[in-house]
Protein backbone atom coordinates (compact mmCIF):
# COMPACT_ATOMS: atom_id res chain seq x y z
CA UNK A 1 0.00 0.00 0.00
CA UNK A 2 1.24 3.46 -0.85
CA UNK A 3 1.09 6.17 1.80
CA UNK A 4 -2.57 6.46 2.79
CA UNK A 5 -2.57 10.27 2.92
CA UNK A 6 -1.14 10.47 -0.62
CA UNK A 7 -3.89 8.16 -1.82
CA UNK A 8 -6.50 10.33 -0.09
CA UNK A 9 -5.06 13.39 -1.85
CA UNK A 10 -5.34 11.55 -5.19
CA UNK A 11 -8.94 10.59 -4.44
CA UNK A 12 -9.80 14.22 -3.61
CA UNK A 13 -8.21 15.43 -6.85
CA UNK A 14 -9.84 12.78 -9.04
CA UNK A 15 -13.23 13.04 -7.32
CA UNK A 16 -13.62 16.59 -8.63
CA UNK A 17 -13.48 15.22 -12.19
CA UNK A 18 -15.77 12.23 -11.69
CA UNK A 19 -18.99 14.08 -12.56
CA UNK A 20 -17.61 15.11 -15.95
CA UNK A 21 -16.02 11.96 -17.38
CA UNK A 22 -17.31 8.83 -19.07
CA UNK A 23 -18.20 5.85 -16.92
CA UNK A 24 -15.42 3.75 -18.45
CA UNK A 25 -12.76 6.32 -17.50
CA UNK A 26 -14.30 6.67 -14.05
CA UNK A 27 -14.20 2.91 -13.56
CA UNK A 28 -10.55 2.89 -14.60
CA UNK A 29 -9.78 5.66 -12.08
CA UNK A 30 -11.57 3.82 -9.28
CA UNK A 31 -9.87 0.50 -10.12
CA UNK A 32 -6.48 2.22 -10.03
CA UNK A 33 -7.21 3.77 -6.64
CA UNK A 34 -8.29 0.40 -5.23
CA UNK A 35 -5.06 -1.18 -6.50
CA UNK A 36 -3.06 1.59 -4.81
CA UNK A 37 -4.82 1.11 -1.47
CA UNK A 38 -4.54 -2.66 -1.34
CA UNK A 39 -3.10 -4.56 0.29
CA UNK A 40 -3.58 -2.74 3.56
CA UNK A 41 -2.94 -4.00 7.06
CA UNK A 42 -5.90 -5.31 9.03
CA UNK A 43 -5.28 -2.58 11.59
CA UNK A 44 -5.79 0.19 9.02
CA UNK A 45 -9.52 0.83 9.32
CA UNK A 46 -9.40 4.01 7.22
CA UNK A 47 -7.85 2.28 4.22
CA UNK A 48 -10.26 -0.62 4.62
CA UNK A 49 -13.27 1.70 4.69
CA UNK A 50 -12.18 3.75 1.67
CA UNK A 51 -11.40 0.57 -0.26
CA UNK A 52 -14.87 -0.77 0.57
CA UNK A 53 -16.52 2.47 -0.61
CA UNK A 54 -14.51 2.53 -3.84
CA UNK A 55 -15.50 -1.08 -4.55
CA UNK A 56 -19.14 -0.13 -3.95
CA UNK A 57 -18.74 2.77 -6.36
CA UNK A 58 -17.29 0.41 -8.95
CA UNK A 59 -20.28 -1.88 -8.49
CA UNK A 60 -22.76 1.02 -8.86
CA UNK A 61 -21.07 2.00 -12.12
CA UNK A 62 -21.43 -1.52 -13.48
CA UNK A 63 -25.08 -2.09 -12.50
CA UNK A 64 -27.74 -1.57 -15.14
CA UNK A 65 -30.28 0.58 -13.25
CA UNK A 66 -33.86 1.04 -14.48
CA UNK A 67 -33.28 4.76 -14.83
CA UNK A 68 -30.32 7.07 -15.09
CA UNK A 69 -31.75 9.07 -12.16
CA UNK A 70 -31.42 6.02 -9.88
CA UNK A 71 -27.82 5.48 -10.98
CA UNK A 72 -26.99 9.17 -10.49
CA UNK A 73 -28.53 9.11 -7.01
CA UNK A 74 -26.53 6.02 -5.98
CA UNK A 75 -23.38 7.57 -7.47
CA UNK A 76 -23.87 10.86 -5.58
CA UNK A 77 -24.58 9.06 -2.30
CA UNK A 78 -21.35 7.07 -2.54
CA UNK A 79 -19.28 10.09 -3.57
CA UNK A 80 -20.72 12.00 -0.59
CA UNK A 81 -19.85 9.09 1.71
CA UNK A 82 -16.31 9.08 0.31
CA UNK A 83 -16.15 12.85 0.97
CA UNK A 84 -17.18 12.31 4.58
CA UNK A 85 -14.64 9.53 5.02
CA UNK A 86 -11.82 11.70 3.67
CA UNK A 87 -12.69 14.67 5.88
CA UNK A 88 -10.21 15.31 8.68
CA UNK A 89 -11.50 14.09 12.01
**pTM for this one?**
0.82
Question: Along the 89 residues of the chain, how does pLDDT read in single tens digits?
Answer: 557 788 888 888 888 888 788 878 889 999 999 998 887 776 677 888 888 999 999 998 888 888 888 988 988 898 889 888 887 65
Answer for the pair 39, 1: CB distance below 8 angstroms, yes or no. Answer: yes
pLDDT (0 to 100) of residue 1: 52
What total of structural domains would you count in the chain? 1
Q: Which residue range is the domain that position 67 belongs to?
A: 4-86
Amino acid sequence: MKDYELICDRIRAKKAQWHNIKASLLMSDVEGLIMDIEPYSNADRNASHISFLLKDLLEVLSIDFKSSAEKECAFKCLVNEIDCSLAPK
